[in-house]
Homo-oligomer: A and B are copies of this chain.
Amino acid sequence: MNRLMKPGARERETLLNSGLLSMLGVESVAAMMEIAIIGNLPARQILFREGEPADMLHCVLSGYIRLYKLDPDGREADVELYGPGDLVGASVVLDGGRYAATAQAAEPALIARFDLKRVRDIANRRPDLAVALTDAVSAQLAKVFGCLANDRLHTAPQRVARYLLGHCPQDGKAVSFRLPYQKSLLAGKLGLAPEALSRAFSMLRDHGVTVRGRLVHIGDPEALRRL
């Protein structure tokens, strides 16, 4: 990890808007700020590995962090992709616990780190933090349930269509936007091989979806929804 530091004005600002801190009272925010350490991760840097004793909680400030599990044979399966504001490693607020998966910076990223022991100390004193943590983890759980069901119920083109719809305004108008990360990352997030994602995109061409690089244009959101 490069350049450890105390949060400066920029970082405090971002942290205040993060999923966790934004739910806290001023005193808990202050306590968390007190123990926050900002770190700058180069792309591909590992934050922690599956099975290691968990000693840190992380919050993404910018960039993306990929959470994945390894096969005995070395194959990887992504289980989550965290972006700005997300809590990483919340699956082990358990003390004495171990990380359930490996976390890696998918691109250069800025994160805040909190010593897990100290977080628990604060949580034991300040219920608002404990409750906010529960809420954060609950939300992640709900999201993963959705992902699991999505995997089991829908084909690749359907999953991609859903993903795209999730990034559209809900009115039925045509839209364009930029994918927030590489396609290979998106493929992993959706549980697909990159080739399958590519093929899914080309099938969606027949349904009004145009992709050039990271730029996506959706001609008819309603048509996508009908897939």
Binding site for B on A (CB under 8 A): 67-69, 71, 75, 77, 79-80, 90-94, 97, 100-101, 120, 123-128, 130-131, 133-135, 137-142, 144-149, 151-154, 191
User: Which one of A120, A124, A141, A153 has the greatest number of beta carbons of chain B within 10 Å?
Assistant: A141
Contacts A/B (CB < 8 Å), 30 sampled:
A67-B145, A69-B145, A69-B146, A69-B153, A71-B154, A75-B153, A80-B145, A90-B138, A91-B141, A92-B142, A93-B131, A93-B134, A93-B135, A100-B145, A101-B145, A123-B127, A123-B130, A123-B131, A124-B127, A125-B127, A126-B127, A127-B127, A130-B131, A133-B134, A134-B137, A137-B138, A141-B141, A141-B144, A144-B144, A148-B191
Instruction: Give the docked Cα–Cα distance between A134 and B130 (Å).
Output: 7
Copy number in this complex?
2
Bound form: Cα–Cα A92–B94 in Å:
19
Q: Contact check, A77 vs B120: say whether CB atoms are below 8 A apart.
A: no
- The reply to whether B101 and A138 contact each other, CB–CB distance below 8 Å, is no
Q: How far is the CA of A136 from the CA of B37 in the complex (A)?
A: 27
Taken together as a complex, chains A and B put the C-alpha atoms of A152 and B189 apart, in Å, by: 11
Name the B residues within 8 Å of A151 (CB-CB): 148, 151-152, 191
A141→B140 contact, CB < 8 A: yes
Assuming the contacts A149-B101, A152-B77, A153-B75, asked whether A131 and B120 have C-beta atoms less than 8 A apart, the reply is: yes
Tell me how far the C-beta of A28 lies from the nearest C-beta in chain B, rounded to whole angstroms: 12
* Cβ 8 A contact of A145, one of B71, B79, B130, B138: B79
**How far apart sit A101 and B153, CA to CA, in the bound complex (Å)?**
14
10 nearest A-B pairs in the assembled complex, by CB-CB distance: A130-B130, A69-B149, A100-B142, A77-B152, A77-B149, A91-B141, A91-B142, A134-B134, A79-B145, A137-B137
Query: Inside 8 A of A134's CB, which chain B residues have their CB?
Result: 93, 123, 130, 133-134, 137
A140–B148 Cα distance when bound, in Å, is: 13
Say yes or no: B153 contacts A79, CB within 8 Å. no
CA A26 to CA B169, docked complex, whole Å: 50
Q: Which of A94, A142, A151 has the most CB of B within 10 A?
A: A142
With a cutoff of 8 Å between Cβ atoms, the chain B residues found around residue A135 in the complex are: 93-94
